[in-house]
Structure 1
Amino acid sequence: MSNCEIKITLSADEYRAYADFIPALGEGAELSTAYARSVINEAGIIHGVDWDLVDSTILYCNTNKKIKKGVEIAVGTPPSSEVPEYWNLEKKFFEHAMGFEPKELKVNYKERSPFIMVKKGELIATLVNSKDGVLGLSVKKIAIPFKKKKIVQFTPGKNTLVADGKLHSATSGRYDISDSKIININDVLTIEGNVDYSTGNISFAKDVIIEGEVKDGFKVAVGGSLHCKNNLDASDILCRKDLIIDQGVIGHGTALVRVGGELRAKFVENCDVESKKGIFIEKNVMNSTLFTLGNLELGEKGSIVSSYVHAELSVKTYDLGKDGSPNSEITIGSSFVAQRSINALKQRLDVLKAKLTKLERLPDYRKTDKKLQLIEQISAVVVKGSEELSLKQKNINKYLDASISVFGTAFPGNLLIICGIKYSITEEKRKVKFYLNSESNRIESVPL
């Protein structure tokens, strides 16, 4: 015969208490709640006791005469960490800041970019208020100190706007996090290397500076100015303002460079180029097509070889053509945009006229009321379109004083068109200016 027994053990931090419940043998005193309370109190456990568990364990042991060990009879109250105030970044910005890589099954590396572009007013982060820490309690009701939660702290920086606990972009640009976790929106995108698979295609709302090359097959779209400090292997380049290239433009296939401002480069090869305000090339234009609503000017020894040029105001070059090379065609005095509009209108009218002719040639028995009505409608559109075309053609040649200046040699075979009047150079000419004599309606030349 032996009495019951309860043995208490505590965890090292006194946050948890465990008990072994040993029932009586024979006629010994059984386990009871009063006995359990005295043992637990004697152990100094005064917080977090699960008395329901204690009572049910006592009942089990007394009924089944079995020992129950390691019963967790008490658990303390955990401390609550102090949380400092912090900026909670939107998911895509946080992942970028922490260097997380997106998980994609199929990746188009030309379209994928390491840069994150934002629009003006875009939400970047929300301010989370600080939270005080709360002490915990051990099972002996001794205070457990709280910790300060470690939070990555971001700080609003350049071109950001804080209002009502929200952080927004103050301008369109590139989202960037400095090494010291300062959030900046850069309105100039600087690419220190090449535009290639490491950057993907570039699309940016403001100015862009490219220190390396733009590799073949990659697209660049810029809402401001673009400055390339090396060669531009053009595929598709769209620049709303000025395009400055320290080296040259080299096109491949259907390469197109479209500029809203001025274009400046050392050379242009095998490329289609459009510029609203003017094109300035230091050396050569070869096997290319150039359109501008301004002037085309080449440098001191620059030349135009095997190319088509349409400049609204003037062309200035050192050499026009080259011995043994295919000829060039130079058109000035009219807008290439207006000419394209005329060409498009002509094409539409040709389609309508062909359809009208086909309808009019139908036998009378096939000319239903519906088809007669269609003939009448198309005829009216053709008349109106023809009047519009006539007006456009009448007004296209606006710059009668446009000229082509050749400071070196104009080689025979090259074709000049000034305000719609054509002139083929039949002999070599040096230091000469070509212009339209409005009285004779012929292209003439004078020495420079």
Structure 2
Amino acid sequence: MSIYYPLFTVLYIYTFIMNKFSPNFNGKLSKKVFILLKFADNFLMSNCELKITLSEDDFKAYADFIPAVGEGAELSILYVKSALAEAEITEGLDWDLINSTIDYCNSSKKVRTGVKIATGTKPVSEVPAHWNLEEKFFKNAMGLDLGSGQIDYHEVSKFIMVKKGELIARRDNGRPGVNGLSVKKKIIPFKKKKIIQFSNGRNTAELKGNLYAAISGRYEVSEDRDIHINDVLHIEHNVDYSTGNISFNKDVIIEGEIKDGFKVAAGGSLYCKSNVDATDILCRKNLVVDKGIIGRKEAMVRVGGKITARFIENCHVESKSGIEVEKNIMNSKVFTLGRLDLGENGSLVSSSVHSELGVIAKNIGKDGSPNSEIEIGFSYIDKRAIDSISQRVEVLKEKLGKLNKLPEYRKTDKKLDLIKQIESVISRGSAELEEKKKSLYKYPDATVSVSGTIFAGNIITICGVKYSLTEDKKKVKFYLNKESLRVESVPI
């Protein structure tokens, strides 16, 4: 019953009495008021309503919950189920939320809009079987000092080196795809996840779902995404900021230049098809440079095998085998356990040479240039060892002399023991020094051959015997006369 019915009844009785007993009463006005109140009652009473909207893909359903007004029918589960059935929504309904919203709207008489009442089931993408690379092979934080945030770009390298037996990737067997459902229970087809597929290539080994390096070398991925471990590092351009310093345990081939400031270390041979702006070059076997080796500041080139280059300038080079230079060596320090060979066209200018087996050159020296000093017939490594021992012995002798000069009252037992220990070390060091000196000059047959001109002022030392040129000489070979122990020359 409407809350206005008692009021209507009272008003009706009042109008009836007044019309009967009061001729001046305006009954028509009272009837108009009655009609107006009756209309207001109808307007202020309405049933509940549920307005449903769907997302474009029918994956989500939203509803506006509108409660009843006055004596209208209230929201109920039955009413909501009927509305959902009419909208064909059956999947992913949130009944807890629906029930709580119904209770809220009925009790508070407030409207709730945009309530997400249903969500479909998402499809699960198919994941094909694939290799999962270890973090080392895709993470790029090399050369980054995480503490300071500073980067030494010389140390940043795009080359990844691996050791034999190192884990490269783990096999992921993937998973099948699962279709999804919309809120109307329509199938949502699953998709195939895009995975970068890699294949095991050269010098890799697959074992129990893991991929390992079969050799030590450089990790590389081909254009076909085959994973290879190469025992040759092939750099098709310069060694510079794009590559960083290079360290590889096998052969290295460089198509471009080695730029100033960058270091290269090769466990095998190093081949460079352009210039080497040497900073620090180290290779265990041979160094072959198609053009020249140019040193900067404290540049050092150390090679376990042979050095071959067109020219060498302003550089410190060491070779345990031999050195072949096509043109010139200028302003350099050269050390080799083999022979320094500049051939028929090469010149040696303003340089220091220590060559165990001798020197071959067209010219030595140049008008107006500082002289060169050439020492041959001995190992520069043995000579360094002798110099090192000699230096240590001299330091100990100086210390011993200071201890011996102490007054007797200051020569405690501890200091006397120290004096004895130093004397013992000096004795052993001196004996070792004499033995090494005896065996230092192993190659008295080493020679210096000049097919062009050797200029006055240059110095040649063979097995410790020095000879200074006082005049220019042409087409000549210098050797050690073992009887006279003098350096002499003969025409060639």
Q: TM-score, normalised by structure 1?
A: 0.92
Q: Name the larger-Rg structure.
A: 2
Q: Which residue of 2 aligns with 1:27?
A: 71
Cα distance, 1:251–1:23 mapped onto 2, change above 3 Å: closer
Cα distance, 1:102–1:372 mapped onto 2, change above 3 Å: closer
C-alpha RMSD of matched pairs (Å): 2.5
SS in 1 for 2:138: helix
User: Is 1:310 equivalent to 2:370 in the alignment?
Assistant: no
* Deviation string, structure 1 residues 277-322 (Cα, Å, up to 9, x no partner): 0001112222211110111111212222222111111222222323
User: Is 1:112 equivalent to 2:163 in the alignment?
Assistant: no
SS in 2 for 1:59: helix
Structure 1 window deviating more from structure 2 (245-254 vs 374-383): it is 245-254
Tell me if structure 1 keeps the 8 A contact 2:329–2:351: yes
Q: Which residue of 2 aligns with 1:415?
A: 459
Q: After the TM superposition, which residues 273-352 of structure 1 pair with which residues of structure 2 at under 5 Å, given as runs?
A: 273-352=317-396
Offset of 1:49 from its aligned partner? 1.9
User: Is 1:370 equivalent to 2:418 in the alignment?
Assistant: no
Q: Partners in 2 of 1:223 and 1:128 — Cα distance?
A: 35
Larger RCO: 1 or 2 (CA < 8 Å, sep 6+): 1
Tell me if structure 2 keeps the 8 A contact 1:95–1:101: no
Q: Which residue of 2 aligns with 1:390?
A: 434
Cα distance, 1:20–1:267 mapped onto 2, change above 3 Å: closer
Equivalent residue for 1:242, pick from 282, 286, 302? 286
Q: Which residue of 1 aligns with 2:116?
A: 72
Structure with the higher fraction of residues in helix conformation = 2
Q: Partners in 1 of 2:73 and 2:80 — Cα distance?
A: 13
* Unpaired stretches in structure 2, ≥5 consecutive residues: 1-44
Q: Which residue of 2 aligns with 1:18?
A: 62
Q: TM-score, normalised by structure 2?
A: 0.84
User: Is 1:45 equivalent to 2:89 in the alignment?
Assistant: yes
SS in 1 for 2:418: helix
Structure 1 window deviating more from structure 2 (362-371 vs 82-91): it is 82-91
Amino acid aligned to 1:201: N
Amino acid aligned to 1:283: K
Q: Partners in 2 of 1:102 and 1:292 — Cα distance?
A: 38
Offset of 1:103 from its aligned partner? 11
Q: Partners in 2 of 1:234 and 1:268 — Cα distance?
A: 10
Amino acid aligned to 2:189: P
Structure 1 window deviating more from structure 2 (365-374 vs 214-223): it is 214-223
* Deviation string, structure 1 residues 28-76 (Cα, Å, up to 9, x no partner): 3322223333333343333322222222112112111223233222222
Identity level (%):
63
Amino acid aligned to 1:354: E
* Deviation string, structure 1 residues 112-162 (Cα, Å, up to 9, x no partner): 233333333333322222100112222333332111111122233333332
Structure 1 window deviating more from structure 2 (352-361 vs 259-268): it is 259-268
Offset of 1:95 from its aligned partner? 4.8
Q: Partners in 1 of 2:489 and 2:115 — Cα distance?
A: 110
User: Is 1:192 equivalent to 2:233 in the alignment?
Assistant: no
Tell me if structure 2 keeps the 8 A contact 1:418–1:436: yes
Equivalent residue for 1:221, pick from 259, 265, 268? 265
Q: Which residue of 2 aligns with 1:204?
A: 248
User: Is 1:358 equivalent to 2:414 in the alignment?
Assistant: no
* Deviation string, structure 1 residues 263-283 (Cα, Å, up to 9, x no partner): 011122221110000001112
Q: Which residue of 2 aligns with 1:144?
A: 188
Q: Partners in 1 of 2:410 and 2:144 — Cα distance?
A: 64
Q: Which residue of 1 aligns with 2:20?
A: none
Offset of 1:203 from its aligned partner? 2.4
Amino acid aligned to 1:255: A
Q: Which residue of 1 aligns with 2:23?
A: none
Equivalent residue for 1:259, pick from 298, 303, 319? 303
Equivalent residue for 1:160, pick from 176, 179, 204? 204
Structure 1 window deviating more from structure 2 (340-349 vs 147-156): it is 147-156
Offset of 1:228 from its aligned partner? 1.8
Q: Partners in 2 of 1:443 and 1:85 — Cα distance?
A: 77
Tell me if structure 1 keeps the 8 A contact 2:324–2:340: yes
Amino acid aligned to 1:150: K
* Deviation string, structure 1 residues 388-428 (Cα, Å, up to 9, x no partner): 11111111111222222222233333222222222223343
* Unpaired stretches in structure 1, ≥5 consecutive residues: none
Amino acid aligned to 1:156: N
Offset of 1:341 from its aligned partner? 0.2
Amino acid aligned to 1:281: V
